[in-house]
Amino acid sequence: MVYPVCASVNAKTGLGQDCAIHISYNSQMPLCTPKSKEGDRCRPAANLCTADPDFAFDLSKKSSVSDVDVVGTRLLAETEDHHGLQTTTVLPLDQLIPDIRSPSLVMLDTTQTPALPLPLRIGDYNMDGYPDLLAVIAHGGGTQAKLLESLPCRPHHKECATGRTFRAPAKGTAALDVVLDVRVATFFDVDDDVRPGP
C-alpha cells in the first residue's frame, strides 16, 4: 500500500507540508523456497492466490527512525512486524526530490467543492517491471508532475530493507518540468503493451 502523509495540509491551497511517502507491506504466509522443509509455514507458488487467513496490514506500530549514511540525512523510518520483517517504509519527499528545496505535495484539488483528494499514481513508465510513482508537487509558485522512479537500493547503504527505493530521474523528464500549472497527473498505456513484472 502506497500513500502520502504530511505534517499538515492547508485546506485553502491543498498543499501538504513536511510530506513523506509511506509504503506499507502486507503480512502474509511466505512462498516456499527450495530450502523449505516439511512443516515450514509457507505455501507453494501454485497456491499464491489462495487466501491467507493471517493476511494483514499493521499500521498501528510507531516508527523508529533509522539514520542512514546518505549525506548524513534521515532517509527513512521503518517499523517491523513480530517476525522482524519490515512493515512500513517512510520516504521523506525532500529526500526523494533533492533538487527542489522544500517541495510541497499537492494533497487536495481545491478547485472542486468539496476539495478532492489527489492520490499518488502508480505505473511503470520505463517498463522494467517495477512500479514507479507520479505525484503533483508545488514549488516556486507553480505545480508540476514529478516522476519518482523505482530503483534498487545501493548495497552499502541501509536505504530500505526491501531492496528498492524511489528517486526523481536525472534525465528524460524535461517535458514534465516545464509544465508549471498541473492539477492532476496519471499514467496510462497508450499502446496497451505493458509487459508483466519480473
Task: Round to whole Å and give the CA distance between 53 and 44.
Answer: 16
Residue 27's φ and ψ, nearest 5 degrees, are -110, 120
Domain boundaries, the chain: 2-177
From first CA to last CA, the distance across the chain in angstroms is 19
Positions of the chain with pLDDT under 70: 60-86, 155-162, 194-198
pLDDT of residue 196: 56
Q: How many residues are present in the chain?
A: 198
Q: How many CA atoms lie within 13 A of 59 on its CB side?
A: 8
| The pLDDT of residue 84 | 47
Give me the DSSP letters along 76-138.
Answer: EEEEE-TTS-EEEEEEEHHHHSTTSSS-EEE-EETTSSSPEE-PPEEE-TT-SSS-EEEEEEE
The pLDDT value recorded for residue 72 is: 24
Which pLDDT does position 115 carry in this prediction? Answer: 94
**Structure confidence at residue 86 (pLDDT):** 58
Residue 3 has which C-alpha cell? 500513500
- Over the stretch 58-102, which tens digit does the pLDDT of each residue have? 776 534 333 332 222 233 334 444 344 557 788 899 988 988 888
Q: Which amino acid is at 26?
A: N
